[in-house]
Each structure stands twice: as structure tokens, then as C-alpha cells.
Structure 1
Amino acid sequence: MSQSTTVLAQAETEAPAAETPATAEAGHTEGTAAEGGHGGAFPPMDTSTYPSQIFWLFIFFGLLYLLMSRVALPKMAAVLEKRSARIESDLAKAQTLKNETEAAVAAYEKALADARAKAQDIAVETRNRMASEMDAERASLEKTLAAKVSEAEAKIAAARAASMKDVGEVAAESAAEIVAELTGSKVSKDAAAQVIAGLKA
């Protein structure tokens, strides 16, 4: 009894396993149909839809061409033209500034060269004027010194003559006194001066 029961149980478990592939395939087909699956070819590759696809292709390309030619391309051309005009204006302005800078540099170099030449001329003129003034002052000083030297020499000569005259008188007086002391006789001052003058001659 127990053996028959086990055999029946094994038969029941094997029967559903044998039916499983068929039932699985049927269930899969039903599930695909229920989910909206297609049994035909991929729609873009379906030759029956080519005319409508070509028609809508021409429609959309025509609309795209109109949109690009009437709206997008004119705006792009205006932007490019505006940018080109701005670039040309900037280049012209830069060239103008460059020319002005070069002119300013040339004017500065010319002014610097003129200033150097003028400074050199002023230095030469000042040197010549100072030399002439120094020569004039030297000549005036030499003239003044020569006058003072001649005046001093005249004063010295006059003082020498005066002092020699005084020396002669003193010598005559001294000689008269000496003769009077020695001989006891009085000799005049004029006689002593004549004797001294005769000795000098």
C-alpha cells in the first residue's frame, strides 16, 4: 500500500514537469499579446509605410529649410556682419592709436634732441661769457695792481730821497760836531755838507 502511494505521488509530480514547456510557451505568447506586442516587422523598416514616411520627410525638411532661411540664417548673418564691423572698427582704432603713439614718440625724441642741443649751446655760451668776464676782470685787476705798484714805487723813491736828504743833514751835523770836538774849532753845517758831498763825488 505504501509503495503504490509513493508511485502515484511520483507520477503526479512528473506530469506537471512534462507539460511545463508547452504551457510556458503558450503563456508567453498570451502575455506578449496582452502587453501589446507586434507580430509584424519593425515599423520604419515596413515597406508599406515608405510613402507616408517620405511625404512627412519632405514636409519637415521644407519647414526646417524655411525656418533656417527666414529666421536663423539672417540672424546669424547679422551677428557675423556686426562682429566683422566691430573687429574692423577696433583694428582701425588700434592703427590710429599706434600712429598717434609713434607721432608722440617722434615728437618727444625731437624735443629731447632740441633740448640737448640748446643746453649744449647755453653751456658753451656761458663758458665763453665767463671766460671773457674773467679776462676783463683779470686785465682790470692787473691794471689796478700796476697802478698801485707804480704809486708804491714812487712813494718808496720819495721816501728814500727824503731819508737820504735827512741822512746827509744828520751826517753833516755829526761831522761838524766831531770836528769841533776834535779840533776845538767850530765848523759850519754847510761846510761839513760840502765836504761830505765832495767825498761822495
Structure 2
Amino acid sequence: MFVSQAFAQTESPDVLLPPASPAPSTHGEIYVEEGHEGGFPPFETEYFPSQLLWLAITFGIFYLVLKKVILPRIAGILENRRDRIALDLEAADRMRADADEAQAAYEQELTEARDRAHGIALEAKESARTDAESERKRIDGELDGKLGAAQVRIDDIKREALKDVGSIAEEATDAILREVARIEAPREEIAGAVTAVRS
């Protein structure tokens, strides 16, 4: 047990005790030095200037790292993705123009074939009318086949063009999540999100 000198003198003024010194406690007691008022240093006003200085230094370093390293890298990634998407869209436009030309040629051929069939039907005699009708049906069947083939080609061109855009958007989303946000997302979730945005 610790007794201060002042307390000892008030109890018995004849006995003088040496000043109390902190001694190791044998019974789990804790010695607290009197006169020391300690608080949490970050809340002490005398530490505010150094805290503000370190805050400014840390913010400045973070700003420089963000400006010189992170943002240029993100801008480069986005620019590359933008260029790739623009090239794919140009290719899709070219394919669509080719498909439109093919469809125009098919329609012209269809018109010419119908005019020919109609002329044969008008000029033919009664005995040749059945032959002209069978020829017209045969030509219509060929043209329908060509129309179906052209439609399938147009659908394939569109599907091929849009497939590349979807994969590029998935790759860009995955790269941004990994490199910027440091998030590892499953490829299925990314594909679902891109599909939801495109639809």
C-alpha cells in the first residue's frame, strides 16, 4: 500500500516518513503518479499543428500518386477500350452497308425476274401459259431462297458485330473493376450486367 508524506503527517505529525516512491506492486495494485493529467493526444490542442501538417503531407502524396499514376493508367485503359469499340462499330457499319447493297441487288433482281415472268405471261399463248406459270413459280422459289440466304447473312453479320461489342464491354468492365476498384467479380455477373445494360 502507498502512503504519501502529506497524508502520513496529518495522521501522526511526530513521525516523518520519506516521500513515497513507486514500488512494484505485489498484490496487483497500480500506482498512478499524481499531478499528471494525460488525455488522448489527437484531441489535445497542442498537437493540432503537427496533425494538420501530416494531414497536408499525406494528402499531397496521395494527390500526386493519384494524378501521376492511377488516373493516367485509367485514362489509357479507357482510351484503348474506346478505340477498340470505335473500330468494331466501324466494321459493323461496313458490314451493314455490304448487307444493304446485297439486299438492294436482290430486290433489283427480284423486280427484274417478276417483270420477266409477267412479260412471258402476257406474250405467251394459251398453250404456253402453264409453262410461264411454272417458270414464274420456279423463279419465285429461287428468289425466296436467295432472300432467306440474304436474311441469314444479314443476321450473321449483325450478330458477329454485336458479339464483339459485348465481349469488349465485358473485358473493359472486368479491367476497370480489377484495376480501379480492386474488385474481383465473376465473369458471369459481368456478362449479365453488360447484357442488362445493352438490352
Shorter-chain TM-score tier: 0.3 to 0.5
Higher helix share: 1
Q: Taking CA–CA contacts closer than 8 Å with sequence separation of 6 or more, which of the two structures ends up with the larger relative contact order?
A: 2
Q: Structure 1 length as normaliser, TM-score? A: 0.42
Higher Rg:
1
